[in-house]
Structure 1
């Protein structure tokens, strides 16, 4: 099965550090008032999650050929991960409540 289809982990990228080509082939699904998800209109692969208030996108890590060359900088929603999914390393980790509290402290509101 193609690793690009599911991709496993997501890689958060924001601002101008990301250049997207072929965006016209993406189908966008508005999953909530504050988020959208995109998938490939040709094969159905997950492409990204976009947090609309900031425009920040999280991409499926499996999309990138060199994903293994990049270090994990932060892990979020660790309390919601599958029991079999443990990532080794000394990087910051946040629970879902911590992530939501941080976003709310920055002025984002969730229903």
Structure 2
């Protein structure tokens, strides 16, 4: 069983996650680019496998009528994406302590990607999800 630790920049949100998916999905939709500052890179885990060891900075934002995003209200780190009613949670790969050993799996919403970069890593690219 793989357990990783991670945190936001200031440490007001700290976590442990068991058995995360060992692949990274890159989302290029406008909403992810605005909230993360570039494209969103995340792994996924079951919500029951995520434990907060510190959550004093955790704030949730309903970014649409079907999903919410978790971030640190103190330092602004973008940390989580969760579809309403789903058992899984997207976790920012950048929040996890290195090394993760994870590999890129796919790019999603590439039809919406920013015009200031290219995708050239060779993993599948999907116009939507």
Indicate whether the TM-score tops 0.5. Answer: yes
Q: Deviations over 1:32-71 (max 9, x none)?
A: 2211111112212111111113243222222123267321
Give the Cα–Cα distance (whole angstroms) in 2 for the partners of residues 10 and 33 of structure 1: 22
- The answer to whether the 8 Å contact 1:26/1:40 transfers is yes
- Structure 2 residues not aligned, in runs of 5+: 1-7, 11-35
**1:70 corresponds to 2:70:** no
- Structure 1 residues not aligned, in runs of 5+: 100-111
2:41 — aligned with what? 10
1:86 — aligned with what? 119
Which structure: greater strand fraction? 2
1:28/1:75 CA distance change after superposition, 3 Å: same
Give the Cα–Cα distance (whole angstroms) in 2 for the partners of residues 66 and 7 of structure 1: 21
**1:46 corresponds to 2:83:** no
- The answer to whether the 8 Å contact 2:59/2:70 transfers is yes
Which structure: greater helix fraction? 1
| Aligned-residue offset at 1:7 | 7.6
- How many residue pairs match? The answer is 94
2:15 — aligned with what? none
Give the Cα–Cα distance (whole angstroms) in 1 for the partners of residues 83 and 64 of structure 2: 10
